[in-house]
């Protein structure tokens, strides 16, 4: 069965609610890939699909206040708007190791961003009905 969505309802496949777990590894170093991850996350949420967005690698910097405003990609939705949409309706997680490598602490991040590690990512990614995407 092909997933379909209509009017903010949750996507269902064979009677099962679906969710997306999106890991974005790219930041300003690969702007198109980075923006695609945020765009897919926001679009999924707008369609009623539960989303968990994981910031890893260079995207880790977007967990800090003001950093998304520095990101510019022509012909793309502004990253701060996409991040705000995910924070409002989904979950945003900063990778524990990625945060540590950048000296980012829980006191540094935007309100609503949690810090968690690989076990939490795996738990979300293998949950019933979950689809994991990595950008």
- Cα–Cα distance measured from residue 30 to residue 11, given in angstroms and rounded to the nearest whole number: 30
Q: What is the pTM of this model?
A: 0.88
pLDDT of the residue at 32: 98
In tens digits, the chain (135 residues) has pLDDT values of 333 333 444 444 445 589 999 999 999 999 999 999 999 999 999 999 999 999 999 999 999 999 999 999 999 999 999 999 999 999 999 999 999 999 999 999 999 999 999 999 999 999 999 999 999
Q: What is the pLDDT of residue 56?
A: 98
What domains are there in the chain, each with its CATH number?
19-127 (3.40.1260.10)
Q: Are strands 19-24 and 51-55 parallel, antiparallel or unpaired?
A: parallel
**Measured distance CA(52)–CA(92) in Å, rounded:** 6
Distance, in Å, from the CA atom of 76 to the CA atom of 97, rounded to the nearest integer, reads 29
Beta-carbon count within 10 A of 40 CB: 19
What integer pLDDT is reported at residue 11 of this predicted model? 45
Which pLDDT score is estimated for 110? Answer: 98
The confidence score (pLDDT) of residue 17 equals: 80
Look at residue 1 in the predicted model and tell me its pLDDT.
30
List the end-to-end C-alpha distance of the chain, in Å, as a whole number: 25
Please report, for residues 32, 44, 50, the alpha-carbon distance to residue 126 in angstroms, rounded to integers and kept in the order given.
Answer: 27, 18, 15
């Amino acid at each position: 069965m092909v997933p379909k969505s209509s009017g903010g309802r949750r996507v269902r496949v064979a009677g099962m609610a679906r969710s997306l777990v999106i890991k974005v590894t790219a930041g300003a170093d690969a702007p198109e890939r980075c923006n695609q991850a945020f765009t897919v996350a926001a679009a999924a949420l707008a369609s009623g699909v539960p989303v968990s967005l994981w910031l890893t690698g260079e995207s880790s910097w977007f967990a800090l206040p003001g950093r998304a405003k520095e990101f510019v990609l022509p012909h793309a939705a502004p990253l701060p708007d996409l991040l705000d949409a995910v924070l409002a309706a989904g979950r945003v997680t900063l990778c524990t190791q990625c945060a540590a490598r950048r000296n980012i602490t829980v006191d540094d991040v935007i309100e609503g961003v949690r810090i968690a590690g690989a076990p939490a990512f795996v738990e979300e990614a293998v949950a019933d009905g979950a689809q994991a995407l990595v950008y």
